[in-house]
Structure 1
Amino acid sequence: MSDAIRQYHIYSSRKKHFLHRTPEHCEKDMARRMPTISCPEHPDAPLVEDYHAGDMICPECGRVVGDRVVDVGTEWRTFSNEKSDKDPSRVGASENPLLDGGDLSTMIASGPGSESVTDEFGRPMYRNRRTLNSSDRALINAFREISQMADRLNLPKVIADRANNLFKQVHEGKTLKGRSNDAIASACMYIACRQEGVPRTFKEICAVSKISKKEIGRVFKLILKNLELNVELITTGDFMSRFCSHLNLPLTVQKAATQIAKRAVEMDLVPGRSPISIAAAAVYMASQASADKKSQKDIGDVAGVAEVTIRQSYKLMYPKAHLLFPEDFKFATPIEQLPAQ
C-alpha cells in the first residue's frame, strides 16, 4: 500500500470518528486540551482576577497563580491636565466624510508650562482650533443646526444625513452667496423630508428654526434651480396619517379622510387649494361624521392651517359630501346633519 493511500485511510477514519462525536464530547475534549490555572494548595477554590495588577489570586491563601491578565473593560482614566474635566475619553469625534480630512483632528490640552495658551480670563485654549478653516467651521455649525432640527421634528438620522449632503453641495457650489447658512440648512431639511417621502410643511420647519417661512421658501426655490433637483409633488395622503395620529383619531376616520381628500381632488372640487388645507378639511368632515368629532381649531393647530382656510375648503367639498365618503363608512352623524361650514 502506497503512502498516499495510507494517509487517505487515516484521514477517512478520523473524519468518521469526529462526525459521530456529540457536542458534549467536543466540550470535554476542548477542556482536556486547554491548560487550566488553579492554586496548587487549593485546586477547587475559584481564582480572583485583579485587573489593576494583572494577576490571578487564590482567595484562600493569597497566592498569585497567574499574571499578565489583559483587561478588556472600558478605560475610565482621564488623561487631561484639567482637574475639572469629567470626560475620561481620549478619543476624538467620530469621522465625518463631509468635512475635509474627515474631521480626524486631535484636541491637545495645554500644559502647565509657560508655553500654554490661555485667554483673557485665564482659561486654556486649544491651539489646533486656530487651524480650522472658515469653510469647515461653517459646515460644522450647519450640521449641528440640521441635527437639532431633526431632533425637534423627531426625524430619523437618514433624513439629517441627506440634508447634510445637500448643504455640502450648496456650500461647495457657492451659488447662494449672501444667504444665511441657517436659511440654507432649513431649506435643505425641507427638501430632504420631501425626498425621503415624509414631507413637512414650511410652518413646521419654520417652528424649529430661526428663519421665516418666506425666506425658507425663497432659498428652497434657489436650491432646486442651482442643483437641478426634482422633488415629487406633495399630496394629501402624505399628511393624513400624521394629522390623524396627533388628533388621536381611529383608523376608520383616517381611511375615510384619505378617501374624501382623494375624491375631492379627482373631482376638482377644491381648485387652487394646497394639499395641506384639503387634508385638514377632509379630516374635519370625516371626524364630524364619526363619533370622534374634532373642531376646526383643533385640526388647525395640528395641521398649521388657519380655521378660515379649513372652512373655505370644507364649504367647497360639502355640496358633494355624499359622493366623497367610502361606501362602508359607518356614520355616527348623517351627512344631512353635518355642519354647513
Structure 2
Amino acid sequence: MDSSSGFQRRSGLTNRICCSEHPDAALIEDYRAGDQICSACGKVIGDRVIDVGTEWRTFGDEKGDVDPSRVGGPENHLLNGADLSTMIGPGPSRSSDFNPKYHNRKTLSGSDRALINSFREIGNMADRLNLPRTIVDRANLLFKQVHDGKNLKGRSNDAIASACLYIACRQEGVPRTFKEICAVSSVSKKEIGRCFKLILAALETNVDLITTGDFMPRFCKNLRLDVMVQRAATHIARKAIELDIVPGRSPISVAAAAIYMASQVNIIKAFLKSNSASEDKRSPKDIGDIAGVADVTIRQSYKLMCPRAAELFPEDFKFAIPVSQLPPQ
C-alpha cells in the first residue's frame, strides 16, 4: 500500500489500483486532467493517465481514404503547404528491392523550404539570446511578409532573418543591440542595418525609439551590479539626456557611461551596519563587453558627463567618496 498517494493494489487474480479507504469503489477516469478518482470519496488515486485514442471518431461507412486521427506535427500557417511530414515509401521501380524515397522532397516547394530554413535560423538565434516565443513568432511573421512581397531581392535570407529578429525585439519592448544580434548571426552588422531600414520601408511599419532605460536593467544584471548602482545609473542617464549633456550620443553609449560613473563612487549599502563600501566598480572595458560598445566610446560620453556629475546623481544618493574624486576624464 502506498500511503502517500492513497492507493493500494489488490492481490489475487487481478492486480488493479484501488482507493485505500474504499477498495471496492469504482474509479472514475478524468481523461482531461489525466487523473483516476475514487467515486466514493473523490480522492485522486492515480495521475498521468495517457489517452492513446484518436482525436476524432471514425465510422466504418465514412472512413474512406482519409483518416482524421491525430498524427504528425502541428500545421504551420505561415507555410504554403500544410502537411510537412516526411513519408518514406517505395520508389518508382517495381523491383523486389525496397527503394525508399523522401516524398516531401517532391511535394515541398522551394519557397516553403526557404521559409523553414529561415524560421529555424530565427529560432536558433532567439535561443542563444534567451528570447521568448512571442518574439520568435513576430519575427517569423515579418520574414513571411517580406518573403511573400519579394521586397528584398538580392539580399540573403540570413540577413533578412536577423533584421526581422531585431525589429521583433524592438516592437515587443525588449530591444537588443545590433551587435548582440550580430553575435548570434552569420551576417555582418552593416548588412543587418541595411536590411533593417529596407524592411521598415517595404512593410511601412515602424519601431519605437530606444531609450537608456531599455538596456539598463539587463546591462546591470549581466555586470552583477547592486540594485542601488542600477538605480543611480538609470537616473544619471535620464538626467544627462534631459540636460542635453550628451548630444548626438546613442542611448547605448550613454547608458554604458552612466553605469561606469555610478559604479565608481563606492556606494555605501544601506542594509550594512558598517560603513563598508560595495565592490561594484567596473572598468569601461568590462561594461563595453556587455553593452557592445567600445571602451573609447564610453570614455567619450563619460568625459561629457563628468564635469556636471553633481547634477546627475539623485539627491538622496549615499556616497562613500565625494563626486569630486571620480576618475579623471
The TM tier, using the shorter chain, reads 0.7 to 0.9
| Cα pair 1:117 1:125 within 8 Å, conserved | no
Q: Which residue of 2 aligns with 1:317?
A: 305
Task: Name the counterpart of 1:141.
Answer: 117
Match of 1:96 among 70, 73, 76: 76
Write the distance in 2 (CA, Å) between the matches of 1:142 and 1:46: 58
In terms of fraction of residues, the more helix-rich structure is: 1
- Of 127, 130, 147, 1:151 maps to 127
Q: What aligned pairs does 1:1-341 form with structure 2 within 5 A after superposition?
A: 45=12, 47-48=14-15, 73=50, 91-101=71-81, 103-111=82-90, 114=95, 118=99, 124-290=100-266, 291=278, 292-341=280-329
For residue 95 of structure 1, give the secondary structure of its aligned residue in structure 2: coil
CA distance in 2 between counterparts of 1:47 and 1:247 reads 62
Q: Which has the larger radius of gyration?
A: 1
For 1:17, the equivalent position in structure 2 comes to none
Deviation for aligned residue 1:266: 0.5
1:64-118 residue CA offsets vs partner (Å, 9 max, x unmatched): xxxxxxxx6477xxxxxxxxxxxxxx932221111124x3244222359738775
Q: Which residue of 1 aligns with 2:274?
A: none
What do residues 158-199 of structure 1 show as CA deviations (whole Å, max 9, x unaligned)?
000000000000011111100010000000000000000000
- Unpaired runs of 5+ residues, structure 1, are 1-42, 50-71, 76-89, 119-123
Q: TM-score, normalised by structure 2?
A: 0.74
Query: In 1, are the aligned partners of 2:122 and 2:139 still within 8 Å (CA)?
Result: yes
CA distance in 2, matches of 1:334, 1:136: 63
Q: Name the TM-score, length of structure 1 as normaliser.
A: 0.72
Using a 3 Å threshold, how does the CA distance of structure 1 residues 114 and 45 change in structure 2: closer, same or farther? same
Name the CA distance, whole Å, in 2 between partners of 1:183 and 1:117: 42
Residues 259, 326 of structure 1: 8 Å contact kept: yes
**Counterpart of 2:264 in 1: which secondary structure?**
helix
Q: In the comparison of the two structures, how many residue pairs are matched?
A: 259
Rounded Cα–Cα distance in structure 1 between residues aligned with 2:11 and 2:103: 58
Q: Given residue 310 of structure 2, which amino acid in structure 1 is its aligned partner?
A: H
**RMSD, aligned CA:** 2.3
Given the superposition, is the C-alpha separation of residues 115 and 167 from structure 1 closer, same or farther in structure 2, using an over 3 Å criterion? farther
Looking at structure 1, the residues matched to 170 and 248 of structure 2 have their Cα atoms a distance apart, in angstroms, of 21
* Sequence identity percentage: 68
AA in 2 matched with 1:323: E
State the distance in 1 between where 2:265 and 2:323 align.
Answer: 7
Q: How far apart, CA to CA, are the structure 2 residues paired with 1:301 and 1:314? A: 17
Query: Are the counterparts in 2 of residues 167 and 185 from structure 1 also a CA contact under 8 Å?
Result: yes
Match of 1:66 in 2: none
Change in 2 beyond 3 A, CA 1:334/1:105: same
Query: CA 1:326–1:130 in structure 2 vs 1: closer, same or farther (change >3 Å)?
Result: same
Q: Pick closer, same or farther for the CA change 1:46–1:302 going to 2, 3 Å.
A: farther
The 3 A distance-change label for structure 1 pair 179 and 46 is: same
The CA distance in 1 between the partners of 2:326 and 2:96, in whole Å, is 80
Q: CA deviation at 1:44?
A: 7.6
Tell me the equivalent position of 1:61.
none
Amino acid at match of 1:326: P
Deviations 1:186-233 (A, max 9, x none): 000000000000000000000000000000000000000111111100
Aligned equivalents of 1:172 and 1:116: distance in 2? 42
Q: In the alignment, which residue of structure 2 is the partner of 1:36?
A: none
C-alpha distance in 2 between matches for 1:252 and 1:205: 29
* Aligned amino acid, residue 315 of structure 1: K
